A and B are shown apart, each in its own frame.
Chain A
Amino acid sequence: MNPILSVKNIQKSFDGTGVLKGVSLDIHEGEVVVVIGPSGCGKSTLLRCINGLERINGGEIWLRDQRISDQEKNMHLVRQKIGMVFQSYDLFPHMKVMDNLLLGPTKALKRPADEVKAEAMEMLKRVGLAEKADALPRTLSGGQKQRVALVRAMLMHPELLLLDEITAALDPEMVSEVLNVVIDLAEQGMTMAIVTHEMRFAEAVADRVLFMEQGVIVEEGAPAEFFREPRTERARQFLQSFTYASTRKNAR
């Protein structure tokens, strides 16, 4: 089967500094790919290039049979098929939750408002936020905002969903309420590319893990193998940095 997304040897540099140095990646329908790696390794840039928020300097990106890396004028049409949720809570602060949800489907896709509204209400219920439909974003907690942002992206019925460190700015106790929604989406068969620092979550949700460092994919594999015994030394070191090397000797 042909992949939904095909990234072919893309390069990206900022002011002459290479951030992506030839990255290739295929994502198939219903597949969840998790990208991990140290900060500055290019994983967020990879997602931003897929969505056309950054222009690539070389290589190609294909969405099914359409080359999307050279779309200038019609990028908004491409983005209607690729959802993205960011690290910062990026709800539109001047709109109620429901209006945040309706904007894309009614303005970009021109769907009738009442039809979208019913669907939006259904999805809000599913993430436990039905009573927040008429609330302003600033009255929501970080975790609630991020759940709304996920619903907002899903209401576009994207073929592919990109999640860029969506829990990185959250207080620890709110992380799981957001990630549970993502796991739910994965079980419903949503195709996703996820950048995260939550290793347990990565292990739980991924079909495939990519480890990136310095702009290249260093290792990729099934989560069970990758997390138990990574093949490369760099991946091993990276995973080790999440555990503490020693404990206090004089601890009481």
Chain B
Amino acid sequence: MQGLGISVLFKGINFQRLLLGLWVTLRIALITIGISLVLGLIFGLLMMSRSKIARAVCRVWLEIVRFMPQLVLLYIVYFGFARLFGVNLDGETSAVIVFSFWGTAEMGDLFRGALTSIPKHQRESAAALGLTKAQINRYILLPQTARRLLPQAINLSTRIIKTTALVKMINVTEVLKVGQQIIGQFYREPSAAFWVYATVFLLYFLICWPISLLAGRLEKYWGVS
């Protein structure tokens, strides 16, 4: 039976189960990306605010997110919060909280970077035309920021999608976990593991690749380096 592990994928509803797992992955990622976009813009503005305290809080937040493995954050929220505050968060909610905590800071930093990379002469020459502050923001700064931000925001999104694989460690049955369950059930089929994991890989690839292509296209089209 060696080498026929691929047939495992088509036994019963195995493939549908994988797709359902993939949907859990995407659901967590999409909600996270949505929250990160909105809160990230606020985070970015706070990073540039005049308040020293706001800037310091953002700085610490960003450093924590960068140095702390996501998995540790997941454990803290999923297991730690239950013990400490007596709140029982389900795995998916914990995942969304942790990934949004991360995504918000990273998105905010990207937003800040995009906005501050616009030369100050852009603002000044718009002001010299007699435009109001609001008009300068709307017609000059916002469109240019969006163009610089979007490719990077898309790259961050693919990273978020990839990282959701970690949530299987806090008992969320997403695509990777489903794959492992299938492998477990068909342990008599030694090559099943290869085919199932390869399929999981392919599914991730099919999601992330077009997104990444889009980012590259946008970058080229808008001609920002």
Enumerate chain A interface residues (CB-CB to B < 8 A): 51, 53, 75-84, 86, 88, 90, 92-94, 103-104, 107-109, 136, 138, 149, 152-153, 156
Contact = CB atoms under 8 A, between A and B. Distances in A.
Nearest to A105: B129
Nearest to B131: A108
Contact of A153 (B128, B144, B222): B128
B132 interface: yes
B124 interface: yes
Interface in B66-101: none
B117 interface: no
Nearest to B128: A84
B144 A108 contact: no
Most chain A beta-carbon contacts within 10 A, residue among B127, B130, B223: B130
B127 A53 contact: yes
Q: Which 6 A-B pairs have the closest CB atoms?
A: A80-B130, A104-B129, A90-B125, A84-B128, A108-B130, A79-B130
A228 B135 CA distance: 48
Nearest to B222: A94
Contacts of A81: 130
Nearest to A108: B130
Given A86-B124, A88-B121, A107-B139, A93 B144 contact: yes
B124 A90 contact: yes
A77 B129 CA distance: 9
B219 to A, nearest CB: 14
A227 B67 CA distance: 64
Interface in B111-161: 119, 121-122, 124-133, 135, 139-140, 143-144, 147
Given A88-B119, A90-B121, A90-B125, A76 B131 contact: yes
A156 B143 contact: no
Contacts of B140: 92
Contacts of B130: 76-81, 104, 108-109, 156
B127 A92 contact: no
B143 A53 contact: no
B148 to A, nearest CB: 10
A92 B122 contact: yes
A83 B135 contact: no
Contacts of B223: 93, 136, 138
Contacts of B139: 92, 103, 107
Contacts of A104: 129-131
Nearest to B143: A94
B124 to A, nearest CB: 6
A138 B224 CA distance: 10
Nearest to A79: B130
A156 B161 CA distance: 49
A90 B136 CA distance: 14
Contacts of B127: 53, 75-76, 79
Contact of A107 (B119, B131, B133, B222): B131
A107 B147 CA distance: 22
